[in-house]
Amino acid sequence: MGLRPHPPELEEFATLVGSEGPVGIAGGRTHFELGGELRPGTRTVSAPVGVVTHEPAEMTVRVRAGTPVTDLEEHLADGGQMVPLDPESPASTVGGVLAVGRSGIRRLGYGHVRDLVLEITYVNSEGKLIRAGGPTVKNVSGFDLCRLLVGSLGTLGFIAEVVLRCHPLPEVSRWFMSGTDPVELLSGLYRPVSILWDGTESHVLLEGAAADVEYQADRFDLTPVAGPPEVPREGRQSVRASQVADLQGHFVAEVGVGVVHRDIRTDPPPTEAPALHRAVKARLDPTGRLNPGREVVV
């Protein structure tokens, strides 16, 4: 009985981060300007790499944060499973996707990426390894620092290793198109994985048992297509799911989720109770050494 010791690779990463002076972290650099540019001259580190253990029977995987998502996907597919992190770019790392905290276009079906995270080991501003959460699929042991880290842009701690919840690879995964009103599709279809609406037509992703996918495609007269539409990357808005039907202009909206992709830059919404958010940052990183220049609070 006793605490699991941290593996040497994580200890080395903690030493690299150190306890003094500004330091940044880089993953695949796909969202490196999000929340502001890293203060010029800041040295950057990268998280350890590699899939540590995939246990298909537990539906969990322990993976180092610097691992490219594509590598993780390949590894899991061998065991018939997946983790729907769904980054926009093949360069994205597991830790990067989590630090950015944006879900992919299958959020309607699989939920937010934060709900895939079971355990996080990270390096805090004092250069210490901190473990939060637990390795099992269910756990309420202590404060949920994992969710605090997801979407924190590396400003509270640098993610070193995570345990993620896996899903079985679906028997089939098929895209369709439909001219039916997207809200009607959302309420009529049972557990669609994605509905992307451009104001005129919808792309629908159905996954699961082949019989179910066929049954629903027939019932709603869906036309098979090769894949998802081109999704604009410049801007990203966040609306109430029920407001998607009222959108104007050029966009691709995730129906039932409320994320709207635009081809023009958009400003993030202001943070509610910003002082409280800033107090969390100040308490966990009093000298502001972690990813200086990047800001989560708007």
Among positions 164-183, residues that touch another protein (CB under 8 A) are 167-169, 183
| C-alpha span between 102 and 69 (Å, rounded) | 14
Instruction: Give the ranges where 81-173 is alpha helix by DSSP (H).
Output: 94-100, 107-110, 145-149
On whether the CB atoms of residues 45 and 111 are closer than 8 A, the answer is no
Q: Which of 50, 135, 229, 232 binds another protein (CB under 8 A)?
A: 135
- Number of other residues whose CB lies within 10 A of the CB of residue 235: 14
Q: Which of 40, 78, 143, 265 binds another protein (CB under 8 A)?
A: 143
Q: How many residues bind another protein (CB under 8 A)?
A: 84
Taking CB under 8 A as the criterion, which residues in 58-77 touch another protein?
58-59
User: Whose Cβ is closer to another protein: residue 68's or residue 205's?
Assistant: 205
Query: Shortest Cβ distance from residue 157 to another protein (Å)?
Result: 8
- Part in contact with another protein (CB under 8 A); list of ranges 26-34, 43-51, 133-141, 193-201: 133-141
Taking CB under 8 A as the criterion, which residues in 202-261 touch another protein?
208-209, 211-212, 214-216, 236, 238-242, 245, 254, 256-259
**136 touches another protein (CB under 8 A):** yes
Write the DSSP string, 190-235.
SS-SEEEE-SS-EEEEEEE-HHHHHHHHHHTTPEEESSPPPPP-SE
User: Whose Cβ is closer to another protein: residue 122's or residue 175's?
Assistant: 122
Query: Shortest Cβ distance from residue 263 to another protein (Å)?
Result: 18
Taking CB under 8 A as the criterion, which residues in 261-280 touch another protein?
268-274, 276-277, 279-280
Cα→Cα distances 107→5, 11, 87, Å:
34, 34, 11
Q: Which of 7, 22, 50, 151 binds another protein (CB under 8 A)?
A: 151
Output the six-digit token pair for 101. Answer: 């905290």
Phi and psi at residue 23, to the nearest 5°: -150, 140
User: Whose Cβ is closer to another protein: residue 226's or residue 275's?
Assistant: 275
Q: Which of 72, 159, 186, 252 binds another protein (CB under 8 A)?
A: 186
Query: Shortest Cβ distance from residue 116 to another protein (Å)?
Result: 10
Output the six-digit token pair for 5. Answer: 């010791």
